Structure 1
Amino acid sequence: MSNEPSELLRSLRSLSGPFPSWDIEHLPDRPGKLFLDWLRVAIDSDVKEPHAMTISTVDQDGRPDARILILKNVVDDSFYFASSSESQKGQQLKDNPHVALTFYWPALGRQIRIKGTAEDMGDEAGADDFRKRLAGARAVAMTGHQSQKLESEEVLESSIEAQKERIQRDPDVVSPQWRLYAVNAKEVEFWQGDSERKHVRIQYVLQGGLWKQYRLWP
């Protein structure tokens, strides 16, 4: 095997299939419905972590930023995730609520791209989501230093342990910085890959309060 990166990458297979069929003649009127249909197919097909998504934001200098998060809910055409408002993404969302979500399920050759605006759902929604998290995850979130520079492993462990003890004393304690966000979709693209690169792409665009559908070139 070649040690050259270009040769190494070319030796890797992609979009080899077989992939599920997709009847684009009978599409739902709304993208949220189609997303849930595809999500159920992914779950039934044992796709690992099909609810993992890339969320892309814009930082204070106008540069794109991205990371992986977990989808929490889908209501109509809004897609929910949670995060600390004091994290980098939380600060970025305060300055610019425009975001993009991306799902990719290689085993199915399917990708979903969502563009919209993130809306903070308020104190109670954030608290309710926080209470549903595992105790360990709550303790880490309550340390309140996400994305900041870490002095040492000992500082991290002692901080987490202190928050675990706090949770034991008060199981209903919540972090006021923990927020639940809804990404209200404005544009959604469903992409079905093809081994011959004749990909099928359907785009939903919200225009005047109504969803319009378009077939895109591969």
Structure 2
Amino acid sequence: MVSLRGWASFPDELPVFDPDATPAAPHELFVGWLNEAGEHVLAPHAATLSTVDTDGTPDARVVILKDVGPGGWAIATSSESPKGLQLRKHPHAALTFFWPGRGRQVRLRGPVTPAAPEVSAEDFLARPPASRVEAFIGRQSAVLHDPAELLDAAREAERWVEENPGVAPETWTRYLIAPEEVEFWQASHDRRHVRLRYRREGDAWVRERLWP
């Protein structure tokens, strides 16, 4: 077995986090942390999306955050992808953001709602051409028996996108995660990490410090 204890977890200098100087709504603090992380790490808007399979087994993968606002955190994928099918069966999910260069983590979880078809189509058409081609190829996570099949499917998808530049797949779906809890975690070298949880109560948010 290879020991991994010698690897550093965080940089020598870590930012200061004062939970008493935080906004009333979690998305406001999140945007501040996100923008700050973008100055230090690549793809700060990448997050681990956790869902539950049909048999209750947890599943996770990294996705890109589309937007964030008072209503929640938005992602997008095909409704026929594994995560789309899981969200259809169990419309709850968790998102985890980790920025090791700043020693920060944000965790949130809550119900997931698909957007209206026109909103999902607008999201799809805003994607780069290569990303639109990928979506039209489909069959995500299916077994690929011959790489030549992928090349053929990609050529067909490229042709379709070129001939139908304003068309989005009916399966493309934008999802909104409306969290019931959002936790902000700031690492500390003395291991007394600072944790602040926003917990929804009705239309308001309650802020609570948590033990490390």
TM over 0.5: yes
Matches within 5 A, 1:5-154: 5=2, 7=3, 9-43=4-38, 45-154=39-148
* C-alpha separation in 2, matches of 1:131 and 1:208: 35
Identical pairs, percent: 41
Moved more, 11-20 or 114-123: 11-20
TM-score, normalising length: structure 1: 0.94
Residue deviations 1:50-100 (CA, integer Å, cap 9, x gap) = 000000000000010000000000121400000000000000000101100
- Partner secondary structure for residue 80 of structure 2: coil
- Distance 1:76-1:114 versus aligned 2 partners, 3 A rule: same
- Correspondence for 2:210 among 181, 194, 216: 216
1:94 and 1:151 map into 2 onto residues whose CA distance is 28
Q: Which amino acid aligns with 1:149?
A: V
Shift of 1:17: 2.9
- State the shift of 1:48 in Å: 0.7
Question: What are the superposed Cα offsets for residues 140-187 of structure 1, whole Å, 9 maximum, x if unpaired?
Answer: 111221111112111001101111011111211211100000000110
Decide whether the 8 Å contact of 1:102 with 1:111 is kept in 2.
yes
RMSD of Structure 2 on Structure 1 (CA)? 1.0
> Which has the higher mean CA deviation after the structures are superposed, 65-74 or 144-153?
144-153
- Conserved? CA contact 2:40–2:101, under 8 Å: no
Once the two structures are superposed, residues 167-209 of structure 1 have per-residue CA deviations (whole angstroms, 9 ceiling, x without a partner) of 1112112111000000001100000001111100000000122
Unpaired runs of 5+ residues, structure 1, are: none
4+ aligned runs moved over 3 Å, structure 1: none
TM-score between both structures, scaled by the size of structure 2:
0.97
Structure 1 residue identity aligned to 2:182: V
User: Which consecutive residues of structure 2, in runs of 5 or more, have no partner in the other structure?
Assistant: none
Distance 1:116 1:159 in 2: 36
Name the residue aligned to 1:178. Answer: 172
Q: Which residue of structure 2 lines up, in the alignment, with residue 159 of structure 1?
A: 153
- 1:216 corresponds to which letter in structure 2? L
Secondary structure in structure 2 of the residue aligned to 1:108: coil
Q: Matched residues in 2 for 1:27 and 1:58: separation?
A: 32
